Amino acid sequence: MINGMFIDPKDCVVTLAAAATPGDKVCYVDEGVRKEVEVLDAIPIYHKMAVKPVAKGGRVIKYGELIGIASQDIIPGQHVHTHNVEEPERG
């Protein structure tokens, strides 16, 4: 079991405390409730994994802050990185 850092209820990703391979389980706590998601992709240590679905064009939130826009649909368990997230527009 791998721990994921989840800070804010708005977050759709966790940051992994260890590298993960498909089939591993990641656990995190969301508003006092322990949750678990199966890993779908190889994910390096300290990278992000989706724990909530994000539709293409949707906001990717980490630590309660906008970190990017999904460039494709993202499902729980997928690696979240530059291959599926674009920089948000800065105004």
- Cα-Cα-Cα-Cα dihedral of 78, 81, 85, 91, to 10°? 140
Domain that holds residue 82: 2-86
| Domain CATH number, residue 40 | 2.30.130.110
- Cα-Cα-Cα-Cα dihedral of 53, 56, 66, 23, to 10°? 40
Number of domains observed in the structure of the chain: 1
Report if residue 72 sits inside a domain: yes
Report if residue 63 sits inside a domain: yes
Report if residue 6 sits inside a domain: yes
Q: How many of the other CB atoms lie within 10 Å of CB of 31? A: 8
Report if residue 7 sits inside a domain: yes
Report if residue 66 sits inside a domain: yes
Q: What is the pLDDT along the chain (91 residues), one digit of tens a residue?
A: 999 999 999 999 999 999 999 999 999 999 999 999 999 999 999 999 999 999 999 999 999 999 999 999 999 999 999 999 999 877 6
Cα–Cα distances in angstroms (integers) from residue 16 to residues 57, 74, 90, 91, in the given order: 24, 17, 27, 30
pLDDT score of 43? 98
d(CA 61, CA 42): 21
